[in-house]
Amino acid sequence: MSSVGRDGEQGLGRLMAAVGAVRIPNEVRAVVQAEPPDPVPAQLWRARWAEVIELLLITEVNDSVVAIPITLEDQHVDARTLVLVPGQSSLAVTLVVWTDLARRVPMCVLDRQIGTVAVDVSRPGWEAAAIVGGAQCANDPVSAADSRHQVRARLQDAMDAFAEAAWAPSGTGDLARLLAAASLSPQRLIDALGVTPQRALALRRGQAAVSDVEAATLAPLLGITEEAVLAANAPPPAGLVAHMSKPHRRAQVMRLARKRGVSEYRARLAATYGVNAQAARQTGRSQEPAWEERIDRYFQVTLED
């Protein structure tokens, strides 16, 4: 694991140790252990992407979020950080907010909510209001060897990694060509996949996407991997990608990954194409599906014991 990842995990461990000593530890733990909600400003989240793990403060939410990295080590503060006192968050511990490192990041990096701050961070100038409420500023390091430089550099790297995070497949749209090259006629698709003639014809023409289950059957027939079969689909709909990027879907993706013994990426890809294929069969291509309901149904079925 990278140094960013180790520090992030250690930071979360220190955080949970710290909140164990506050007045209402059960309430704090309940937030951490609950199903992740949709993010809103003033929430504190653990963010995770690949080996990068950090704690973030959410300040703005739309299709993505604007987030600021936070740490617990108040000895690492500098003139560009804001130190929230224990009474300014639900965690009741000192939080260092690296305000100048705020970045817009995709929702898919958000992993687990850990608390909230008692400051309206959605309003311009919220830092001044936080100072009135007790938050503190600090001085810049005076030595190039000061460890604060290293902490800042680590957080900058982490925020860059989060900002660039992406999982949605671009999709080559080569499915029809691959099926034709392997002489997989609509009838052979009906026999192999157990689909209707209409779906077999749509697959053969590249007008429908294969699901994760269908990809597993087609892979040996095409002489390629399941991932390559899924990658030959057209790109999934933007609406589906947005819904699959939400934090509460990530928790379901992780359960699916553990159940199938695959990576988070493979599980998310499988779920996305599985939902897309099912929606296309039931709603056709001209109507935008009710993605939340489709995704709920997919995970309900696939996560059953």
Q: Tell me: the pLDDT tens digits for 233-242?
A: 888 899 999 9
Q: Report the DSSP beta bridge partners of residue 54.
A: 47
- The answer to whether residues 154 and 3 touch, using CB atoms and an 8 Å cutoff, is yes
**How far is 89 from 95, CA to CA, in rounded Å?**
8
Q: Which two tokens stand for residue 169?
A: 């497949």
* The model scores a pTM over 0.85: no
- Going by pLDDT thresholds of 50, 70 and 90, the confidence category of residue 30 is confident
**Which alpha helices (DSSP H) does the chain contain, by range?**
3-19, 25-33, 126-132, 147-163, 175-181, 186-193, 197-204, 212-222, 226-231, 238-244, 247-260, 264-283, 291-302
Q: Report the DSSP beta bridge partners of residue 47.
A: 54, 110
pLDDT the model gives residue 150: 87
Mean pLDDT score across all residues of the chain:
86
The bridge status of strand 43-49 relative to strand 52-61 is antiparallel
Region 209-220: mean pLDDT is: 91
| SS3 state at 83 | strand
**How far is 96 from 125, CA to CA, in rounded Å?**
17
Chain position carrying tokens 């164990």: 20
pLDDT the model gives residue 6: 46
For 105-120, write each residue's pLDDT tens digit: 999 999 999 999 999 9
Instruction: Tell whether the model's pLDDT for residue 5 goes beyond 50.
Output: no
- The answer to whether residues 36 and 186 touch, using CB atoms and an 8 Å cutoff, is no
Region 269-284: mean pLDDT is: 78
Q: What is the DSSP string of 107-140?
A: GGGEEEEEEEBSS-TTSTTHHHHHHHTT-B----
pLDDT the model gives residue 182: 95
For 36-89, write each residue's pLDDT tens digit: 899 999 999 999 998 999 999 999 999 999 999 999 877 778 888 999 999 999
Gap between the terminal Cα atoms of the chain: 32
